[in-house]
Amino acid sequence: MAAPKVAVVGAGVIGLSTALCIAETCPSCSVTVLSDQFSPNTTSDAAAGMLIPHSCPGTAIHVQKQWFKETFTYLFSISNSAEASEAGIHLIFGWQVYKNTPDETPPFWSDVVLGFRPMSEAELQKFPHHRSGQAFTTLKCDCPLYLLWLEKRLKAAGAQLYTKKVADLWELHHEYDIIVNCAGIGAHQLVGDEKLFPVRGQVLKVHAPWVKNFIRDGDGSTYIYPGIHSVTLGGTREKDCWSLSPDPGTSKDIFDRCCSLEPSLRGAQVIKVKVGLRPSRQCVRLEKEVLSQGEVKLPVVHNYGHGAGGFSLHWGTAIVAARLVGECIAALQSSSSRAKL
């Protein structure tokens, strides 16, 4: 067949990185990204982009670890290059603190981040409401810089990007050979995935450039993530809440909780409030599916449902999705050569 035409639906961190991975591993493909939203209006743009994985109950630990490690390694080398500031990637050290001491075993990702260790007594004195903690250095991907950088790399690789609301994957079957579904929370509507649910997160972006270390409450409720141009204060985890409107009461609550962890934030000015719906699922849907309408077949690769782990796992899942696309291409090529016989 002629150059396979691949459409990637979705332009958040998953869509763009998957499209890039496909463009790089399959240079003969033509890659087109279609999305109704681009940065700065994607779910990814609300995220702080910290590489701290969450545990995904439906995916084997060794698989999550592999995806995280591949993502970390990939971003680590960008952070250490001249492109780091344009890509919005930087290292950051900080503390994850616990009010109730968790079990002794370190998390699966402790040997992927740098310098992971328990916090010392002296360090814990800074957190009088907490009893134990972990210190480590990890990476942060600043949105929208990172998404804009991915878009730039995609264009350089010959990919096309179009604003388009895709209501049904079948709309695309005339123009494209393979569809890659990176619609995130949009997959609920797009492919009718009832197992996909939003976990609403509200964050404040504040001006506090003197905050150089991240702080995260181990229960996940409160976090302070210093980025390049602002510090992200969070957050909320509201299951099944679809509202994208910022709630002022929630903003005040987030601000107060963060000030209790880091008192110097009292003097910080709020730049903006953002809301994102984490596309949550028992596990990431990362698989091939062949849709059919009568005789017509449409190969689809799904890559969505990363919940709170989009940034942490994105490159690892992009690699798998690109491989699945390769398999779809091989299947199409063998069936088209069979058709010629």
Q: Please report how close the Cβ of residue 210 comes to other proteins at its closest, in angstroms.
A: 4
Q: Residue 76: how many CB atoms within 10 A of its CB?
A: 17
Report if residue 221 touches other proteins, rule: CB under 8 A: no
Binding residues: 43-44, 166, 223, 278
Judged by CB under 8 A, which stretch of 48-56, 134-142, 177-185, 249-257 contacts other proteins?
Answer: 134-142
Residues in binding contact with other proteins, number by CB under 8 A: 36
Q: According to CB under 8 A, which one of 3, 60, 156, 228 is a site residue for other proteins?
A: 228
Terminal alpha carbon distance of the chain: 14
Contacts of 70 (CB under 8 A, 6+ apart): 315, 316, 319
Q: Which is nearer to other proteins, 5 or 69 (CB)?
A: 69
Q: Binding residue for other proteins (CB under 8 A) from 119, 154, 178, 273?
A: 119
Q: Of residues 22-81, which lie at the interface with other proteins (CB under 8 A)?
A: 79-81
In the complex, the smallest distance separating the C-beta of residue 253 from other proteins, rounded to whole angstroms, is 21
* Nearest C-alpha neighbor of 118 from the set 100, 102, 99, 134: 134
The per-residue b/e assignment along 102-128, b for 16 or more CB within 10 angstroms, e otherwise, is eeeeebebeebbeebeebeeeebebbe
Asked if 270 and 203 touch (Cβ cutoff 8 Å), the reply is no
**Contact map string, positions 236 to 265, toward other proteins, x by CB under 8 A:** ---------------------------xx-
- Distance from C-alpha of 312 to C-alpha of 54, rounded to nearest angstrom: 8
Torsion of CA 89, 95, 101, 105, to 10 degrees: 50
Rounded distance between C-alpha atoms, residue 113 and residue 226, angstroms:
17
Closest separation between CB of residue 213 and other proteins, Å?
A: 6
Q: Contact positions toward other proteins, by CB under 8 A?
A: 79-86, 88, 90-93, 114-115, 117, 119-120, 122-123, 126, 135, 137, 142, 209-213, 226, 228-229, 263-264, 266-267
